[in-house]
Amino acid sequence: MDSLNPDESAANQLRSFVERIERLSEELKGIQDDIKDVYAEAKGNGFDTKVLRKIIALRKKDAAEREEEEAILELYMQALGMIPGSGVREAAE
């Protein structure tokens, strides 16, 4: 009967976790490189990659979250006089 002692079992389990994480990290790096290539291709076709990144971030949010963020952004911009006709900047001058 050849059974592992608890220390060996824990060491094997730890090794397994580390190897899985390393393997997934390599896969992730490959995917990140692929994404970088797609952004470069989009840029080469005349698209603004900064805007594309913003679109990707917005699409990850649900509609309610986007609407709330946009409302707060508009409120802040109005307060700073960044929206034409808001009257805040004109009143301050």
Give the pLDDT means over successive 10-residue stretches in the chain (93 positions): 76 97 98 98 98 96 96 95 72 52
Q: How many helices (H) and strands (E) does the chain have?
A: 4, 0
Token match 């034409």: residue?
84
pLDDT at 6: 79
Burial of 68 (0-12, 13-18, 19+ CB in 10 A): exposed
* Per-residue pLDDT tens over the stretch 65-88: 999 999 999 999 999 999 887 655
pLDDT at 23: 98
Query: What pTM did the predictor assign?
Result: 0.66
Instruction: Find the helix or strand (DSSP H, E) in which 68 lies.
Output: helix 63-79
